[in-house]
Structure 1
Amino acid sequence: MKLEQVRELLPVQVRDIADLIGLPDTLRLVEHLGGTTWDFAKGRNRNGQIRIAALGDILGEETAARLTSHLGGEKLYIPKCDAAVRRLRDLEIHRQFEQGLREGVSANTLVAELARANRLSDRWVWLILKQPMSAPDQTALF
């Protein structure tokens, strides 16, 4: 998925992190640390090295090092980004549904598979599929 598809739903600090380490790693960070304040250590003492290692367990050592080099010494609240995460999920459900239809799989089978894979009810998946996935351009109205 592309960051641009959910950029407007992300807080500024998360956009900055995504620009630095990419959306997949940012989503992993939000998944593990969302809703908490994280002290990005510089690694100058044992506690700092432990925090960097913990970040490395989440993101991988290279990505954690890149993030630490930019944010080391800062405390940053990491939002949960629920709206953006839901939007990405819904976009992926639409993409998988359309792909399955092109491959000849029935709509009911696809919805049942998507519901199980996303831990949603089939009714919820149908509601997601009924929603338009691209925001209409409303600037033409004015």
Structure 2
Amino acid sequence: MMKVDIHTMIHTDTVTDMLPEQIKELVCLIGLTATMTLVDKFGGLSFGMPHSTNTKNGKWLVRELGADIANVLIDRHKGEKLYINNCDALRVYLRNRALVGAIIACMETGTSQHRAVQETAPVFGITERRAYDILKEMTNGKTQLNLF
């Protein structure tokens, strides 16, 4: 399984570039929304793919993904233990991108960078120091506060 280094991504990389191959295959098969539902519910676990929609897991698939998608998934992986990757690199990247966006938006209202980080970091459940590190990593230091 390929690990993605979120710090070496370039601006032309897309979110789907960060997905593991197995998840990309599921996206092609059942779409991004349904795949991410599987990741949210079973990321990091093996999911016993049912033989039909009448089993416990089959009924869950129908309830969460809809009958059509459940049947496509069952037809393709019937009876297999399907490992669902947790996509941690993607989650961290998306969180970091949202954090940086929130800090920059706060700064655009006239708030100092220091205050923007102090207000935003707790919302994302991270420390002020980590927020500064993320800001620096994702902007290459380009968001320094204009002092004048």
Structure 1 unpaired stretches of 5+: 135-142
Q: C-alpha offsets along residues 75-119 of structure 1, whole Å, 9 cap, x if unaligned? A: 311012211111111111122222222233332232123221221
Over the matched positions of the two proteins, sequence identity in percent amounts to 26
Q: Which residue of 2 aligns with 1:65?
A: 67
Q: CA RMSD in A?
A: 2.7
**SS of equivalent residue, structure 2 residue 138:** coil
**TM-score between both structures, scaled by the size of structure 2:** 0.66
**SS of equivalent residue, structure 1 residue 7:** helix
Counting only pairs closer than 5 Å after superposition, residues 1-142 of structure 1 correspond to structure 2 as 5-19=14-28, 20-22=30-32, 26-45=35-54, 48=55, 50-55=56-61, 60=64, 63-72=65-74, 73=78, 74-132=80-138
How many correspondences in the alignment? 123
Structure 2 unpaired stretches of 5+: 1-12, 141-148
Q: Once the 2 structures are TM-superposed, how far is the Cα of residue 38 of structure 1 from its aligned partner?
A: 0.9
Q: Give yes or no for contact 1:14–1:78 (8 Å, CA) kept in 2.
A: yes
Which structure dedicates a bigger proportion of its chain to helix?
1
Q: Give yes or no for contact 1:52–1:65 (8 Å, CA) kept in 2.
A: no
* Higher Cα Rg, which structure: 2
Q: C-alpha offsets along residues 24-66 of structure 1, whole Å, 9 cap, x if unaligned? A: x544432331111112335343xx2x22443466xx4xx3434
Q: Give yes or no for contact 2:53–2:71 (8 Å, CA) kept in 1.
A: no
Which 4+ stretches in 1 moved above 4 angstroms? none
